[in-house]
Amino acid sequence: MDYRGKTALVAGAARSGLASARFLLGCGARVILTDTKTEGALKSEIAELRHSAAYSGELVLELGGHREESFARCDFVVVSPGIPLSLPYFEISRKAGIPVIAEVDLAYRHLKGKIIGITGSNGKTTTTTLVASLLNGAGLQAHAAGNIGTPLVSFVPDSKASDFYSVELSSFQLESIRDFRPFIGSILNLTPDHMDRYAGFDDYIAAKRRLFMNQEPTDFAVLNADDPRTSAMAAKLRARPVLFSRLRTSEQGAFVRNHRVIFRDGQGEKDLFAVSAISLKGLHNLENVLAACAIAILAGAKPESLEESVRKFKGVEHRIEWVSEIDGVQYFNDSKATNVDAAIKALESFPGNILLIAGGRDKAGDFTALRALTRERVKHVVLIGEAADKIRKALSGAADISDAASMAEAVSACRSLARPGDVVLLAPACASFDMFDNYEHRGRVFKEAVRDLNSIIER
């Protein structure tokens, strides 16, 4: 598309919004960048946009609040995933016949190469990263993109037809897609999340399912056979279903048999590697590896190339990330456990003797679901953040519970309570925005607090 002479309204000046603005300015568009944050609060982001974008378009800033007239007087709107589509501003655009699209849709219009879309309630980042690693290990050129950190639109200028893009997609991003079509799409699992944004679980599932809405019979849908909500989708999609399972075999897909990972398709079975080759903790990560292997093979990776890449893959930051061992106590950072189900999976990854740091901003999660594992495996819970009272009520009697005013205080409390052989685990089961910029910031602060403990001991 030729954007010269067009006005694009980019709603949201966070990562994806800035990337969209940068791309459109480079294409000669007039870009209205709007955000509720003030220009002072976005000073560094705006300065970076102005200095990093080699653009021929015009940048108009509308910060400190949205203006209704701008939503009615533009050619299209690019919405950032953090902004709910239910806001009345978008209804103004829709009534005026103005398209409201996601950043990934903007990228899809122009990107050369093949797109793999990965979503789910948990495991998205690990699987997205592993898929790119498997494809690169197989001699293909692959990039990890999307909600994982680098917006997909940022890859457009240098994209090649031979490239693969493994794209992590949140439900927020999928809400506003129109044309986006991955040739491989995968929903890893579905458990309640972001219930503070959706009217109910069914609405959340519907947002995730939009991943498949533009796929054709030549495309693939990789689904978790062990999750009844995802496996039920297999018969209702236009794309070809490919299943992965750690509990049962599959006629088409990846599964475990006799402690080995197997892939089966119309050409027969391929024995890929032993389960013991996987260094990641937790049964949920076995599922992530199964999904990634199925996706990689469908994308063209040779099955025999996968084992080496799987052995080398040590996971990603903030996902059950080993931080340190201090006096026989292991410290793990799972700041990405931003919902209850993710925290459950984190607790399931350790047999017991856990000192758990939890809390943050509640996303309408059911914390009582943590009771059984807390009683079974957790010695002590240290609570932080806005949801502390709600979690305390949900877990009362399941373990000893105390409070901390900061992450450093929480880590220090765990240090005083822990004994050799114990595990200190950050698995908040909540969003981070009450105390931190995002889950990455929260994880970094946790790791800094652990490092500070090491420094004290060394002195």
Same domain (yes/no): 453, 421: yes
Same domain (yes/no): 354, 447: yes
Q: How many other C-beta atoms lie within 10 A of the C-beta of residue 418?
A: 22
Same domain (yes/no): 117, 182: yes
Same domain (yes/no): 114, 80: no
* Predicted pLDDT at 51: 79
339-363 pLDDT, tens digit each:
999 999 999 999 999 999 999 999 9
Q: What dihedral angle (degrees, nearest 10) is formed by the CA atoms of 126, 85, 390, 401?
A: 20
Same domain (yes/no): 249, 336: no
- In a domain, residue 196? The reply is yes
The CATH number of whichever domain residue 333 belongs to comes to 3.90.190.20
Any alpha helices (H) in 145-231, and if so which ranges? Answer: 171-175, 201-209, 228-231
173-194 pLDDT, tens digit each:
998 899 999 999 999 999 877 7
Same domain (yes/no): 391, 306: no
Same domain (yes/no): 19, 142: no
- In a domain, residue 449? The reply is yes
Same domain (yes/no): 199, 259: yes
- In a domain, residue 2? The reply is no
- In a domain, residue 110? The reply is yes
- In a domain, residue 276? The reply is yes
Instruction: Output b/e per residue, 232-269; b: 16+ Cβ within 10 A.
Output: ebbeebebbbbbbbbeeebeebbbbeeeebbbbbeeee
How many domains is the chain partitioned into structurally? 3
Same domain (yes/no): 145, 184: yes
Tokens of 16: 């994806």
* CA angle in degrees (0–180, nearest 5) for 246-250-253: 85
- In a domain, residue 1? The reply is no
Alpha-carbon distance 173 to 191, whole Å?
18
- In a domain, residue 189? The reply is yes
Mean pLDDT, rounded, for 382-400: 97
Mean pLDDT, rounded, for 75-100: 93
The CATH number of whichever domain residue 41 belongs to comes to 3.40.50.720
Same domain (yes/no): 119, 87: no
DSSP 3-state of 335: coil
* Predicted pLDDT at 195: 66
Of 81 and 377, more confident: 377
Above 80 in pLDDT, residue 75? yes
* CA angle in degrees (0–180, nearest 5) for 74-80-85: 75
Same domain (yes/no): 414, 332: yes
Same domain (yes/no): 240, 170: yes
Which range marks the domain in which residue 128 is found? 105-312
Mean pLDDT, rounded, for 12-23: 94
395-425 pLDDT, tens digit each:
999 999 999 999 999 999 999 999 999 999 9
Tokens of 242: 């490919």
* Predicted pLDDT at 404: 98
